[in-house]
Amino acid sequence: MRFFEIGILLLLTASSLPVSVGSPNAGKSFDLATQKLVLADYLNPWSNPTFSREWGGWGWHECGTSHDPDYVYPNGTRDIASIFYPLIGPYDAGEEAVMKYHIRLAQASGLDAFVVDWDGITGFYDFPRINRNFMKMLKLAELQNFGVAIDYDAMRYYVGHTGPGVKLIPDRTKALRQVHDDLTYAIKQFGPSPAYLKFHDQPVIFVFGAGGGSMTRDEWGDIITQLSNEGLRAFYVDMQGQTRKLYPYFKGYFPWLGAGEEDLSPNSASFINDWAAVLRRSAQYMDIKWGLAVWPGFDNSPVSAWCAKNSSGSYWIQILDRKNGLLYNQTWTAVMRNKPSFIFIVTWNDWNEATIIEPARQYGYKYLYATELYASQFKGQKPDYDGIPVPLEIYDATSAIQQASKDGRTVGLDIAQQYLQNAETAFDFTHDYGSAASFARKAVDAAKASDYPKSYYEAKGLLAEAESLKTNATAANFTSTQAKTLFNEGVSAFWQAEYAYRQGDYNATITYAQAAVRFFEQAFQAERTARTFPLVQLRFHYEYLAAAAVIILIVLAAPRLRRNAKRNGELT
């Protein structure tokens, strides 16, 4: 069987596939002590039935308004607990393709690392899945030229500071022991990775609510000192800026969105300026590293404020209007003016509270373009926006290949997979975003072409060969009667093949196209023979005449030769 199209595609793909060894991250580190880094809070509890057999994070049924992601609206979207809708739909954070998509988007937007919400190593709630997802992301980050760290806040669940009735480990001594065990695991398992965020050579551990009352300063001091004595040193960052409550055990600080306030600050720029002044003053007599946060907005109404109520008994719903992107620009401008050591984005993908900058159907890439602009200015670099839309194309190519494989459509998938590999290599290694996008589109086309049966490819290839021969034969202008007859037979077979192809009868197409190819090739041979035979005849004719002329000359000259011979006495 002649798979012309597949063969050509394979040849072109193989010849254009870059050869690379190792990873683009080779030798690169992410150091909060020496580099100006832009970080973003990342949540990974999201799951869907396609990948994890259940919904996680996208629904809400605890109180107030309910959201059921199994319900599909007429426009095709699902009922999720968010005022925004992901550009790729309600995804599963444990899926490798999703992690790669997020990492590539972050890289193209000027981010250096994700700080991932991590809830320790117990079996409570979805904590095990969150830990598995982080381990997977850490491995991918090592290959993708990206940094990661953890945002640890499980202690709030253990000791009961997350809301009424929530106390997973009632015995405080056991709860504090679990905090010690969680941090031991994190430092040992995550810290050695080259992708894990460091402060010099120590792994950085962010803690949400460390100074918020869940644990005392002395309790933190006991655990951190014990870990240090065990050879497990780390650099701890409080995400609410509580220097007086946590120093010297915590030496990194930045204020979260609305940190320390009962209500979100209506004037974000003033909030940032006030906190910058506090941290800058603290740094004059404390050995600390401080940063500032930026945010696009806030809306916890889809989850009814997590069931929290205000003094009037209503759900404590808080909304900070995005102002069509203006709030995000204002927070960046205020932060940049205060010259922090690092910048923290609140958040990459907290869909429930609508603090996301990840692309959504409502606003597309607006916040990523703004992030690339400001992050580049913060680092003193020139912004490059070309890569921002490309990760979606690579993600779509991956999804198309996965769907084709799931459906059992395997013809041509090897081509699609090689195009996808080319796209990933162009993005991750050479940062050739144009080529990456082109290869991704070709991967999608090849994956979609796998809908056809094997006979389709042979039929298409043979029909193309027959059409090419027909075009050449028409231009040849045959003069031989036999060649003309064979040409007409070929044209007839070709039209029958083309009709069968349009009807989807690929086996008939193959039969007629093979006949057409055969007729056209025979027509060319007949024409060559016809044009060669007269020359042979003419040559034979000339040789015969020449021989006859020699004989006649000999006969005519014979008498004279005899007379001359007698005269000379040579004959008797």
What pLDDT, in 10s, does the model give residues 280-293?
999 999 999 999 99
Task: Return the domain boundaries, the chain.
Answer: 32-388, 389-451, 454-545
Flag the least confident range among 106-110, 122-126, 399-403, 568-572: 568-572
Distance CA 199, CA 184 (A): 17
Rounded mean pLDDT of 319-331?
A: 94
Distance CA 488, CA 523 (A): 9
Q: In the predicted model, is pLDDT for residue 185 greater than 60?
A: yes
Q: In the predicted model, is pLDDT for residue 295 greater than 80?
A: yes
Instruction: Note the CATH number of domain 454-545.
Output: 1.20.120
The interaxial angle of helices 433-449 and 390-406, nearest 10 deg, is: 20
Contact 81, 121 (CB under 8 A): no
Specify the pLDDT at position 457.
Answer: 75
Sort residue 477 into left (φ over 0), alpha (ψ -120 to 50) or beta.
left
Name 566's Cβ contacts closer than 8 Å, sequence gap at least 6. Answer: none
Closest CA to 384 of 427, 348, 355: 427
Rounded mean pLDDT of 57-81?
A: 95
Distance CA 427, CA 411 (A): 26
Specify the pLDDT at position 16.
Answer: 44
Distance CA 215, CA 77 (A): 42
Indicate the Cα dihedral angle 127, 128, 130, 135, nearest 10°: 140
Flag the least confident range among 77-81, 202-206, 369-373, 494-498: 494-498
Name 40's Cβ contacts closer than 8 Å, sequence gap at least 6. Answer: 106, 111, 113, 114, 115, 344, 345, 347, 348, 357
Distance CA 367, CA 356 (A): 9
Contact 319, 355 (CB under 8 A): no
Distance CA 411, CA 404 (A): 9
Mean pLDDT score of the chain: 87
Specify the pLDDT at position 144.
Answer: 92
Rounded mean pLDDT of 462-466?
A: 90
Longest dimension (CA), the chain: 159
Rounded mean pLDDT of 269-298?
A: 93
Distance CA 325, CA 272 (A): 17
| CA angle, 357 then 361 then 367, to 5° | 25
20: confidence class by pLDDT, cuts 50, 70, 90: very low
Phi and psi torsions of 281, nearest 5°: -70, -40
Contact 356, 41 (CB under 8 A): no
Sign of the alpha-carbon torsion through 121, 125, 128, 130:
negative
Specify the pLDDT at position 407.
Answer: 81
Does residue 347 have a cis peptide bond before it, meaning omega lies within 30 degrees of 0?
Answer: yes
Closest CA to 106 of 452, 345, 422: 345
Paired tokens of 286: 């404390």
Contact 78, 347 (CB under 8 A): no
Specify the pLDDT at position 228.
Answer: 97
Distance CA 540, CA 537 (A): 5
Q: In the predicted model, is pLDDT for residue 28 greater than 60?
A: yes
Specify the pLDDT at position 260.
Answer: 42
Flag the least confident range among 99-103, 220-224, 383-387, 533-537: 533-537
Paired tokens of 206: 């962010």
3-state secondary structure at position 386: coil
- How far is Cα of residue 406 from the mean position of the Cα atoms in its chain? 20
Specify the pLDDT at position 458.
Answer: 85
- Beta carbons within 10 angstroms of residue 384's beta carbon: 13
Rg from Cα positions in the chain: 39
Q: In the predicted model, is pLDDT for residue 418 greater than 90?
A: yes
Contact 350, 82 (CB under 8 A): no
Element (H, E) at 148: strand 147-152
Paired tokens of 493: 């077979």
Residue with tokens 């809306």: 299
Same fold, 32-388 and 454-545: no
Paired tokens of 427: 């993005």
Residue with tokens 């020139």: 382
Contact 303, 60 (CB under 8 A): yes
Show the DSSP H helices in 362-480 as ranges: 366-379, 390-406, 413-425, 433-449, 454-476
Rounded mean pLDDT of 240-262?
A: 81
Q: In the predicted model, is pLDDT for residue 415 greater than 50?
A: yes
Closest CA to 254 of 228, 225, 233, 283: 283
What pLDDT, in 10s, does the model give residues 533-545?
654 454 555 555 6
Distance CA 262, CA 514 (A): 80
32-388 topology per CATH: TIM Barrel (3.20.20)
Name 332's Cβ contacts closer than 8 Å, sequence gap at least 6. Answer: 294, 370, 374
3-state secondary structure at position 149: strand
Number of C-alpha atoms within 13 angstroms, CB side, residue 371?
A: 32
β-pair partners for 395: none
Phi and psi torsions of 298, nearest 5°: -160, 140
For the chain, the helix, strand and coil percentages under 3-state DSSP, each to the nearest 5? 50, 10, 35
Specify the pLDDT at position 209.
Answer: 82
Paired tokens of 104: 């590539």
Distance CA 275, CA 254 (A): 8
